[in-house]
Amino acid sequence: MKFFVDTADIAEIRDLADSGLLDGVTTNPSLVAKSGRSFLDLVAEICDVVDGPVSAEVASTDFETMLAEGRKLAKIAKNVTVKVPLTPAGLKVCKAISSEGTMVNVTLCFSAAQAILAAKAGASFVSPFVGRLDDIGQEGMGLIAEIVEIYSNYEHFTTEVLVASIRNPMHIVESARLGAHVVTAPPSVLKSLFNHPLTDKGLAQFVADWQKTGQSIL
């Protein structure tokens, strides 16, 4: 499974990239707005830090403008993944840009039917939003199971399932159990995967025992 981080905070991205656990980055207009940075400059900087796919989202909703924006974003770096909404116009852009050799992330997926359309349009990634489905009383992880099952039935479907709107570590664990290809999560959720009280307790005991020896490795 690949780990993408969902943020536009360059310091957080650098920190996770240094850990060797980061495979890519996803951004969206809301995250960019929080950063206060120039969008194009920020995407270029992230692409310099991360070798893997960096999702940069178009800002328009009509086909012609989205296509122009997508092509401009694709010129920033080879690892830019143009992010488009799962709408008729968005899928037309996906088909056009993916045919030109650019990776495309089709976002705001909330049904298996939509995921099939994204795969047919040649998307590199489809982003089902599990947390937002949970918020309205639907089972977000159930959608992941459906999409993974459907995609596995067709060898010509090369679209990867990128689980988005992740709220907790169990969303990541369950995504891995179901065979999702990628998860994208906020830095805090990715870092929470380290947490376990028995790890903390064991380490504290080891440190205390070592100090009693009066020794030093250095």
Measured CA to CA, the distance from residue 183 to residue 4 in angstroms comes to 6
Is 57 a domain residue? yes
pTM for the full predicted model:
0.93
**146: containing domain:** 2-213
The pLDDT value recorded for residue 159 is: 98
Residue 198 resides in a domain:
yes
Tokens of 131: 């947390």
- Domain membership of residue 218 (yes or no) is no
What is the count of structural domains for the chain? 1
Does 148 map to a domain?
A: yes
Q: What integer pLDDT is reported at residue 155 of this predicted model?
A: 94
In a domain, 53, yes or no: yes
The pLDDT of residue 92 is 98
CATH of residue 117: 3.20.20.70
Annotation marks residue 83 as catalytic: yes
What pLDDT score does 33 carry?
Answer: 86
Q: What is the pLDDT of residue 36?
A: 87
Instruction: Please tell me which residue in 34, 72, 83, 92 is annotated as part of the active site.
Output: 83
Say what the pLDDT of residue 18 is. Answer: 92
Please list the ranges in the chain whose pLDDT falls under 50.
Answer: none
Q: How far apart are CA 24 and CA 54, in angstroms?
A: 6
